Structure 1
Amino acid sequence: MNALARLAPHIKKVVSFILLINVSLFGGGATADEVLRYNLGTSGSSIPYENAVDEDRAGILVEILPLIMNRADIKTEKVMLSTKRAMLAFKTGALDFDFFSPSWLSKDEPAGDFTFSDPIIDITEYFITLPENHSRYQTLASIYGETVGMISGYVYFDSDKFVRMDFQAESNLILALGMKRIDVIIMEEAAARYWSSMHNVKIAMGPIHTAGQMALRVHNRHKDKLPAINRAIVELKQTGQIDRILNKYSDFSL
């Protein structure tokens, strides 16, 4: 008993030292080392935004994202998921942020558990068809009720007004249009022009589907990071860095 009593103070010191190490490693430093997960460009077909055009142009959003996050001092991790799985992962919280345009959501859409950053770039989607069918699809009314090609997993606020036919990626949409598997599709202009050129499919732009601005959609659990993100976006615009990136892709009619 006497020996155990003499050891007790030393045991307390060892336990206290171990607790101090645990607090130092896993306590206060957790916020600083927090890593935000995202998905970008895994379809291989979202050119020129999420995928490379050539060795000098990695993709507009691919180039812009690290500039924003470095300025905001936020660490990120890219997760490789299909478009459809990425949308589900964001909804369930497995992903922390993504690129998204508020214009893609219905005005009646319930408020989700996320907040948008300041706008980053403009983006416009069109109803697109073959030149021979252009006269048939010049108004929204002429397209309502028709079968429309869309990207699997993408959000279309008015998809209930069409018969939706899903394709895996933008490249597949243009190919299906060229092979006349479908008469009209919804697609962003720059991506449509790229794939029409690659697949030698002549296209005609119909009515605008959405015209808005791309932003970062951030889960509300990371809402505290939005001020730093927004400051970074403002600075990148003021210094002309975002415009310089867009100018590299000017041959896409951005």
Structure 2
Amino acid sequence: EKHNFPPRRTNYALDNGLLDFDFVSPSWFPNNDLGELFVQSSALLAIQENIITLKANAKDWQHADQLTGKAIGTVRGYLYHNDAEFTRVDFISERELIIALEKNRVKAAISGDLPALYWAKQLNSPIALAAIHSKGDLVMRLRKEHAALLPQINAAIAELQADGTIQHIIDKYTLQAVFEQTK
């Protein structure tokens, strides 16, 4: 059963056993610690979140500390390790973040680099990847009482990596967008 809760409700549901797992990066947590209630899978893929902005404004967002005290576009339900330092302006998706930048609803947003590049290409929007906000691996955060499932989960992840399935999915949605960003 899939749920898309806001961040606090997701964390409450995970902490209280109402949800069994989610996908996170340990880099989003202090000291990369997911907490005593959880175990983590093998890494699915490397991820990077950037401050994204329109190309014309990129020079103003070259350091992550420039988020402090500002209204920043975020995706509802996503966890941001330092969201107490800025004012969240939640949108329903990365696509909506790009639209918000174009319509000047926010000056900057936080997004994974690959989703931002994909949606910028789809929307023909001149965005820039500015400062890195976080960098790490995406893992499954699983409640500890389900730790016995980790060998099967990790085997499935290893198989999807070995046969190229994960890379194929990444390439399908991002290869052209990444190429165009580097031109």
TM range (shorter): 0.7 to 0.9
Normalization by structure 2: what TM-score?
Answer: 0.83
Match for residue 84 of structure 2? Answer: 160
Q: Is residue 74 of structure 2 the alignment partner of residue 175 of structure 1? A: no
Distance in 1, Cα, partners of 2:105 & 2:88: 13
Distance in 1, Cα, partners of 2:162 & 2:121: 34
Larger displacement relative to structure 2 (119-128 or 198-207): 198-207
Normalization by structure 1: what TM-score?
Answer: 0.62
Contact 2:34-2:141 within 8 A present in 1 as well: no
Match for residue 56 of structure 2? Answer: 132
Contact 1:87-1:153 within 8 A present in 2 as well: no
Aligned length: 176
Shift of 1:211: 1.0
Letter in 1 for 2:81: F
Higher relative contact order (CA 8 A, sep 6+): 2
Are the structure 2 counterparts of residues 111 and 134 from structure 1 closer, same or farther at C-alpha, using a change threshold of 3 Å?
same
Match for residue 72 of structure 2? Answer: 148
Distance in 2, Cα, partners of 1:238 & 1:156: 30
Structure 1 unpaired stretches of 5+:
1-77
Q: Is residue 139 of structure 2 the alignment partner of residue 215 of structure 1? A: yes
Match for residue 251 of structure 1? Answer: 176
- Which of the two has greater strand per residue? 2
Larger displacement relative to structure 2 (135-144 or 202-211): 135-144
Aligned-residue sequence identity (percent) comes to 35
Distance in 2, Cα, partners of 1:190 & 1:229: 24
Give per-residue Cα distances to partners, 1:202-247, cap 9 Å, x unaligned.
Answer: 1111101111111111111111111222233233333444334433
Shift of 1:119: 0.5
Q: Is residue 155 of structure 2 the alignment partner of residue 231 of structure 1? A: yes
Give the 5 Å matches for 1:43-122: 78-79=1-2, 81-84=3-6, 86=10, 88-107=12-31, 111-122=35-46
Distance in 1, Cα, partners of 2:80 & 2:67: 14
Question: Alpha carbon RMSD of aligned pairs, Å?
Answer: 2.3
SS at match of 2:81: coil
Contact 1:148-1:165 within 8 A present in 2 as well: yes
Distance in 1, Cα, partners of 2:134 & 2:55: 21
Letter in 2 for 1:200: N
SS at match of 1:208: strand
Contact 2:26-2:32 within 8 A present in 1 as well: no
Give per-residue Cα distances to partners, 1:79-112, cap 9 Å, x unaligned.
Answer: 3x33426555334322222222111222286724
Shift of 1:132: 1.7
Shift of 1:141: 3.0
Q: Is residue 122 of structure 2 the alignment partner of residue 202 of structure 1? A: no
Distance in 2, Cα, partners of 1:108 & 1:241: 27
Distance in 1, Cα, partners of 2:17 & 2:59: 44
Letter in 1 for 2:87: V
Please tell me whether Structure 1 or Structure 2 has the larger radius of gyration of its CA atoms: 1
